[in-house]
Amino acid sequence: MIWVFAVVVVGLIAVLAELLLSYQKRAHELRLLQEPLRRRIRGHAKAMQDAVGGIQAIATEQVAEFTTQLQGLARRADELREALLGLEQQVLGDAARIAAHDDLIEEVDPNAGKIDAEETPEDSVHRAQEYLRQEVDGHRLSMQRDVEVVRRTLVLLEAKLRRGASTTTDNT
């Protein structure tokens, strides 16, 4: 009985030794395969950082360009408003201009109370004024949205770069 027990124990020890050697061999193979993968990952991370840096540089240039365009459009909008007010003064005169602005402020329909009347110069001026305001404000708002989109994208890219850099240093 003791001989059977001794043979079983020796057999178990042999199996355990074989498993231990097998696991060590497999762990060594995995470590050897891990290094090329880590090099490729580092290479991809560096390429991504370079690409993001290029994108960031281009975006920074575009933000400056958009800001310059936005300032130019704002100045142009002010000039157009002044020119429109000058035209309005020439066409309507001071009293009619004040009345027209009061109508616009109160949001009263300028055609209310007119019955089959032909278009007056005041109506043409109001339509032109509204059209120009919408055009100028539309371009200005579009540029502001573009600048905001570029800024948000830059913030996201910077966050990804920082997160990628911290992950890369943690893995090495």
pLDDT in tens, 102-140: 555 444 455 554 544 566 777 777 787 788 778 877 777
Q: What is the pLDDT of residue 110?
A: 53
Q: What is the pLDDT of residue 155?
A: 84
DSSP result, the chain: -HHHHHHHHHHHHHHHHHHHHHHHHHHHHHHHHHHHHHHHHHHHHHHHHHHHHHHHHHHHHHHHHHHHHHHHHHHHHHHHHHHHHHHHHHHHHHHHHHHHHHHHHTT--TTTT--SPPPPHHHHHHHHHHHHHHHHHHHHHHHHHHHHHHHHHHHHHHHHHHHHHHHHHHH-
**Average pLDDT of the chain to the nearest whole number:** 79
Virtual CA dihedral for 86, 89, 90, 94, nearest 10 degrees?
Answer: -150
pLDDT in tens, 53-87: 888 888 888 888 888 888 888 888 888 878 877 77
